[in-house]
Amino acid sequence: MKGICILGATGSIGVSTLDVVNRHPDQYKVIALTANNNVDVLYQQCLAFHPEYAVVVGEDKAAILKAKLADSPVADIQVLSGVKALEQVATLTNVDVVMAAIVGAAGLLPTLAAAKAGKTVLLANKEALVMSGDIFMQAVAESGATLLPIDSEHNAIFQCMPAGYVAGQTAKQARRILLTASGGPFRETPLEQLPTVTPAQAIAHPKWEMGKKISVDSATMMNKGLELIEACLLFNMAPDAIQVVIHKQSIIHSMVDYVDGSVLAQMGNPDMRTPIAHAMAYPERFDSGVAPLDIFAVRQMDFEQANLERFPCLRLAYQAIRAGGIMPTILNAANEIAVEAFLNEQVRFTDIAVIIEKTMAGFSAEKADTLEKVLAADQQARKVANQIIAGLS
């Protein structure tokens, strides 16, 4: 039995992880579940899985959860609150595996803590790696932690790497990575219509069910930009060796092109339980609950190059990783602020890229060699992005 801590248990990845856990109760014991503020869902998860710890970020929400649990059959669950509590449960001695599924920069510190503690880290949080880059990968190497990617694309790449591959290594026989993308809901929308896109339209992803922020990132292709930066770090490859490919059917989740002319692809129905189950069972495999792929129903698959005019956020991500240093942190921070403003109807859809580009223009690529520098750059970029938004209003 492995002990698992799920950071971000009430989100889509967390819910899917618990579904997989429920299918293999002889292999996993839930030690800790954490949530931002969704007390009702977390309460139901506590009843179903009886973790030792439940963590809610806000003290007021934690008090509500504690009161609900006091009158339940699982009243012995310890309820904690605050950011430090996230790090605490991610490093418990009886936790073997940490599912890092907190969206955004908030996931950085607990995920990094898990890596430093030598845990098996199932990385579903893009921003932790994008922000801290070499610091995170160094922590993994120094602690002996096992890092397994959960994003469907990175998990696909990992599965297509040579036997025994370890994240962070260079696969010398790999010539390039073909990083697939659905293209989101506006893949074919006329460019002149993009300024009038509404939040409701942006979060209506054609293939995947995701949270609002991630869905907007998919619509702008910033999610692919963040994945590009992640791929450079996870697989130790240069940005120019990673090509983004629009594949609207979302059946091939990514490919690796080898020097002998072979191209290996990982395929499957678009369901996050597949990469989750792969990582949880690694190096073995077990049932994920996902329906087998019916290739006869697929019938055809289309591929096209990503248009950087249509998707300027992807262009900015290439720019950030090529510059290096704190620039990926700046990119991520500005994007989080810009997406929030768009969801709150403060700015237009097309303003998201404008805000990010203007924010990046105010910084130079200083070295990101300490966590303090990374966190300081993150906060300063958020201030600058908010100032730019105020100027657009």
386, exposed or middle or buried, with CB in 10 Å at 0-12, 13-18, 19+? middle
Domain boundaries, the chain: 2-149, 152-270+296-320, 324-393
Q: Angle 364-368-373 (CA atoms, 0-180°, nearest 5)?
A: 90
pLDDT band, very low/low/confident/very high, at 184 (cuts 50, 70, 90) = confident
CB atoms within 10 A of CB 195: 10
pLDDT value at position 209?
Answer: 60
> 102-116: per-residue pLDDT in tens?
987 788 999 999 999
pLDDT for residue 208 is more than 60? no
What is the CATH code of the structural domain delimited by 2-149?
3.40.50.720
pLDDT for residue 314 is more than 80? yes
pLDDT value at position 207?
Answer: 58
pTM, 2 dp: 0.92
Residue 205's nearest CA partner among 272, 150, 149, 154 is 272
Q: Distance between CA atoms of 236 and 166, rounded to whole angstroms?
A: 11
Backbone angles phi, psi at 141, to 5 degrees: -65, -40
pLDDT value at position 128?
Answer: 84
What is the CATH code of the structural domain delimited by 324-393?
1.10.1740.10
CB 233 within 8 A of CB 169: no
pLDDT band, very low/low/confident/very high, at 14 (cuts 50, 70, 90) = very high
Average pLDDT estimate for 238-267: 96
pLDDT value at position 393?
Answer: 67
- State CA 247 to chain mean position distance: 20
Single-letter amino acid code for the residue at 131: M
Mean of pLDDT over the chain = 94
Average pLDDT estimate for 177-182: 95
pLDDT value at position 72?
Answer: 94
Residue 124's nearest CA partner among 97, 93, 155, 145 is 155
